[in-house]
A and B are shown apart, each in its own frame.
Chain A
């Protein structure tokens, strides 16, 4: 295989248990988002748009739909002769097999893959964040700082800082001096985005040490970063000031969908930084003679005969006459029959809301209907 400057590795094995009914059959990165996408489209598209064309995707929890979705990577232009998408589930070795025991262990178990692609740098990403980011600038900063590891950080409100892994940095150089995992008394409000660029030899050395350490939880945040700091390694922060959202909970997933509906969406949707996804063969959506759609996003293959306001409607969704959908996210092929009412809800795929039935949540308590369920 040809030499690679920077290899992308996306951690996509998480169960996403806080997404409850939405991850009953799929891994979190495969959860639909924003009318036509899945969460993993964001890191994948960011990679491609940043010029990173070799990307490993580490899968573990209920991977079938995710594997099927990724395919040969052609949707992201990653079906390359030399490169593309590499799906990396746990595998058996001479001495038995292990699950991925943590974020660092997942990468450790794939060190032979990393050696095969022979990169100078390894970019490690999470498969559960919504943002658009040019990683090539971060890589540039990594090189200029002559860093061992560069960590993407994001300024959060001080009162939320205790929920995150916090980086304390030197204001001038951006060099990280201290790491606080979910601190009660944060010394900084720069949260780790779970985006790391490692120089490869440095990464390999630490992973090999951590891999055989039985006292380790094999997590980058818990184990490796504190150890690197203690060793005096060159850790730098890279501040990102665009839109970034962790969509690990129902509320945050709902909120991120709603964010797209603002008069000026938080990130450029129609611009050059395209988010690629696997496109089904669907016709433009149809809005019927009595349809009404406001402040919403609607995608191909939907049919709307009722009222939709402040909602995100996925492909193949049918909304009957007199039905009312507000403040909701409706995933593919769900049917909302005549006169039904849906408010503050996320309806998974292939749900049927019978004529006249009601699904009503409220802010802070979003209603969730699981895939294939029939209501009413």
Chain B
């Protein structure tokens, strides 16, 4: 993998994420108790031996910059290679939408590197993968482009790019649609290709008025390239709506998903270190089927929930089927059900809040209820 340069695209659309993504990029969304979504892309790269990583910054970049800083927590603060921030194209120079103008503006990063291949990933996916296997597959198939996909285990909403493949893994059809059905092959927005191929696609598409890397760059010109498809058989979640976000978090309550994503000895998911103390469970604590991050203090009841760092659960408080982000405070006797509470939310004494299973109630950052 020393021949591969990674680019992580943080310019995902986040319209469906409602309040959660109002002031932060999807990739900076807190996930599974202590992570941010971008941790998966970064960790997958470093675990696979990709040591040179460019990060295409989103419009709201403060949360991402504050999280990643030098890249040290992912072992990306290096003298040689390491992390490079790729800022968006200057506003005003180009009024086009889409991510292509920003890739074009940063094309030097890939072209001037000494690497042979580009691994270009969109970072709103949660999965644990060894990209070395993708590179081996790419070479074995003698492909121009290799894309990573998974077979959907249920129907999905929102924009999906699905593919059809021949028996030898070559992509025969590629289309974007609104929603996809169970059993379809869904592209995970991760592509591997030689640097010149990447540069050619970006340059020729951009210079002909293209806007979107996947739609205009790849789908429209699919016929020109030999595209092969690599199936990722493990767990995959795409964080593109509040419902998916809620579901993916709760999937981590399944021990097999928790172990696959986080407990692989050689493929750990790294994140910013915070030095929080272990969780303190008090006399009357009752906790079932939950993920609890360090720094929490639990006096009350927690079921089927995910508590991020530094959450306090007061005496007699009940938390069910909820996600509580960093430093939320649930005071004595309060009751919270089907709720996603953003950072620093305070639920005062004896309040009850309830959302529904497929439409969780979202409490915005720093709110006091």
- Contact residues of A with B, CB < 8 Å? 34-36, 74-75, 261, 263, 265, 269-270, 274-277, 279-301, 303, 312-313, 316
Chain A contacts for B41, CB-based, 8 A? none
**CB of A269 to closest CB in B, whole Å:** 4
The one of A287, A292, A294, A297 that contacts B278, using a Cβ cutoff of 8 Å: A297
Does chain A have a CB within 8 A of B34?
yes
Q: B285 touching A294 by the CB < 8 A rule?
A: yes
Interface centre among A274, A279, A283, A289 (most CB of B within 10 A): A283
Interface centre among A269, A284, A316 (most CB of B within 10 A): A284
Q: B289 touching A287 by the CB < 8 A rule?
A: yes
Given contacts A288-B289, A301-B263, contact A283 B32 (CB under 8 A): yes
Q: A283 touching B288 by the CB < 8 A rule?
A: no
23 CB < 8 A contacts A-B: A263-B282, A270-B310, A275-B277, A279-B275, A281-B270, A282-B268, A283-B32, A283-B262, A283-B291, A286-B253, A286-B291, A288-B255, A291-B288, A292-B286, A293-B287, A294-B282, A294-B285, A295-B285, A299-B279, A300-B294, A303-B255, A312-B278, A316-B263
Q: A285 touching B275 by the CB < 8 A rule?
A: no
Chain B contacts for A35, CB-based, 8 A? 277-278
Chain A contacts for B235, CB-based, 8 A? none
**CB of A291 to closest CB in B, whole Å:** 6
**CB of A313 to closest CB in B, whole Å:** 8
Chain A contacts for B287, CB-based, 8 A? 287, 291-293
**CB of B32 to closest CB in A, whole Å:** 6
Does chain A have a CB within 8 A of B112?
no
Query: B72 — nearest CB in chain A belongs to which residue?
Result: A74
Q: A286 touching B278 by the CB < 8 A rule?
A: no
Q: B294 touching A283 by the CB < 8 A rule?
A: no
Does chain A have a CB within 8 A of B109?
no
Q: A269 touching B291 by the CB < 8 A rule?
A: no
Given contacts A263-B283, A289-B288, A301-B263, contact A283 B277 (CB under 8 A): no
Given contacts A270-B277, A283-B263, contact A289 B289 (CB under 8 A): yes
Q: B273 touching A279 by the CB < 8 A rule?
A: yes
A283 to B310, CA, bound (A): 15
A209 to B308, CA, bound (A): 57
Q: A36 touching B278 by the CB < 8 A rule?
A: yes
The one of B43, B262, B295 that contacts A270, using a Cβ cutoff of 8 Å: B295
**CB of B29 to closest CB in A, whole Å:** 16
Can you name 8 extra interface pairs (CB under 8 A) apart from A279-B274, A283-B258, A284-B33?
A: A265-B280, A270-B295, A279-B275, A280-B268, A286-B255, A287-B289, A299-B278, A301-B262
The one of A74, A295, A298 that contacts B282, using a Cβ cutoff of 8 Å: A295
A74 to B297, CA, bound (A): 27
Chain B contacts for A277, CB-based, 8 A? 275
Interface residue SS majority, chain A? loop
A301 to B293, CA, bound (A): 9
Query: A261 — nearest CB in chain B belongs to which residue?
Result: B280
Does chain A have a CB within 8 A of B307?
yes
The one of B32, B275, B278 that contacts A298, using a Cβ cutoff of 8 Å: B278
A298 to B33, CA, bound (A): 14
Does chain A have a CB within 8 A of B290?
yes
**CB of B344 to closest CB in A, whole Å:** 15
Q: A283 touching B289 by the CB < 8 A rule?
A: no
**CB of B72 to closest CB in A, whole Å:** 7
Query: A283 — nearest CB in chain B belongs to which residue?
Result: B262
- A-B interface, 9 closest residue pairs, ranked by CB to CB distance from nearest: A284-B33, A35-B278, A283-B262, A299-B278, A281-B268, A284-B293, A297-B278, A269-B277, A284-B291
A299 to B288, CA, bound (A): 16
Chain A contacts for B277, CB-based, 8 A? 34-36, 269-270, 275, 297
Does chain A have a CB within 8 A of B4?
no
Q: A300 touching B34 by the CB < 8 A rule?
A: yes
Q: B294 touching A287 by the CB < 8 A rule?
A: no
Chain B contacts for A265, CB-based, 8 A? 280
A204 to B71, CA, bound (A): 43
Within 259-314 of B, Cβ neighbours of A (below 8 Å) are at 261-263, 268-271, 273-295, 297, 306-308, 310
Query: B252 — nearest CB in chain A belongs to which residue?
Result: A283
A35 to B276, CA, bound (A): 11
Chain B 173-199 near chain A by CB (<8 Å), digits 1 or 0: 000000000000000000000000000
Chain B contacts for A300, CB-based, 8 A? 34, 278, 293-294
Q: B268 touching A275 by the CB < 8 A rule?
A: no
Query: B302 — nearest CB in chain A belongs to which residue?
Result: A287
Q: A286 touching B258 by the CB < 8 A rule?
A: yes
Given contacts A270-B277, A276-B275, contact A284 B306 (CB under 8 A): yes
**CB of B264 to closest CB in A, whole Å:** 10
Chain A contacts for B262, CB-based, 8 A? 282-283, 301
**CB of B161 to closest CB in A, whole Å:** 30
Given contacts A283-B263, A287-B292, A290-B288, contact A274 B275 (CB under 8 A): yes
Chain A contacts for B288, CB-based, 8 A? 287-291
Q: B278 touching A270 by the CB < 8 A rule?
A: no
A283 to B306, CA, bound (A): 11
**CB of A243 to closest CB in B, whole Å:** 15
The one of A281, A298, A299, A312 that contacts B271, using a Cβ cutoff of 8 Å: A281
**CB of A162 to closest CB in B, whole Å:** 35
A134 to B224, CA, bound (A): 68
Q: B294 touching A293 by the CB < 8 A rule?
A: no
Q: A270 touching B293 by the CB < 8 A rule?
A: no
Chain B contacts for A74, CB-based, 8 A? 72
Q: B291 touching A294 by the CB < 8 A rule?
A: no
**CB of B35 to closest CB in A, whole Å:** 8
A303 to B34, CA, bound (A): 16
**CB of A338 to closest CB in B, whole Å:** 14
**CB of A332 to closest CB in B, whole Å:** 12
Chain A contacts for B310, CB-based, 8 A? 270
Q: A297 touching B280 by the CB < 8 A rule?
A: yes
Chain B contacts for A291, CB-based, 8 A? 287-289
Q: A297 touching B270 by the CB < 8 A rule?
A: no
Given contacts A283-B33, A300-B293, contact A293 B275 (CB under 8 A): no
Q: A283 touching B283 by the CB < 8 A rule?
A: no
Chain B contacts for A261, CB-based, 8 A? 280
A293 to B289, CA, bound (A): 12
Given contacts A36-B294, A290-B288, A298-B292, contact A284 B283 (CB under 8 A): no
Chain B contacts for A275, CB-based, 8 A? 275, 277
Chain A contacts for B261, CB-based, 8 A? 283
**CB of B340 to closest CB in A, whole Å:** 16
